Amino acid sequence: MTNESRELFIRQLEETADNIGDVPRHELQILLRRAALRLRNVSAGAEVEALKEDIAKVMDEWAEHRGIRREDAVNEALADWAISIGMMEPKRFD
């Protein structure tokens, strides 16, 4: 989520809260579901928020290609790097 889209979503939530009586039930449901999804995604990937935008894009593409979450892709990439420089032993599969 970009800063711009995050700010827009925050404004939508604030405006809805200010005018709760005027908001149709179905629109409120949609907004609350979007909020829940974003909160779930933030809690799942809070550690990788520090990724630079270009790195995050590469990791997202690699994760999508492999059918895994970004967090798992980052962990795999870091594990591969740590193994390649001898900081970690490769896991052996029996």
Q: Based on the domain organization, do 61 and 33 belong to the same domain?
A: no
**Which stretch of DSSP H or E encloses residue 4?**
helix 3-18
Write down which residue in 47, 66, 84 finishes a domain: 47
Q: Based on the domain organization, do 41 and 55 belong to the same domain?
A: no
Burial 26-52 (b: 16+ CB within 10 A, else e): eeeeebeeeeeeeeeeeeeeeebeebe
Domain of 35?
1-47
Q: Based on the domain organization, do 42 and 6 belong to the same domain?
A: yes
Q: Based on the domain organization, do 34 and 62 belong to the same domain?
A: no
Q: Residue 87 gets which letter from DSSP?
A: S
pLDDT in tens, the chain (94 residues): 567 877 888 888 999 999 999 999 999 988 888 888 777 766 555 554 678 889 988 999 999 898 988 888 999 999 999 999 888 888 765 5
Count of structural domains within the chain: 2
- Whether this prediction's pTM lies above 0.75 is answered by no
pLDDT at 87: 85
Q: Based on the domain organization, do 39 and 60 belong to the same domain?
A: no
pLDDT at 48: 44
pLDDT at 49: 60
Q: Based on the domain organization, do 1 and 37 belong to the same domain?
A: yes
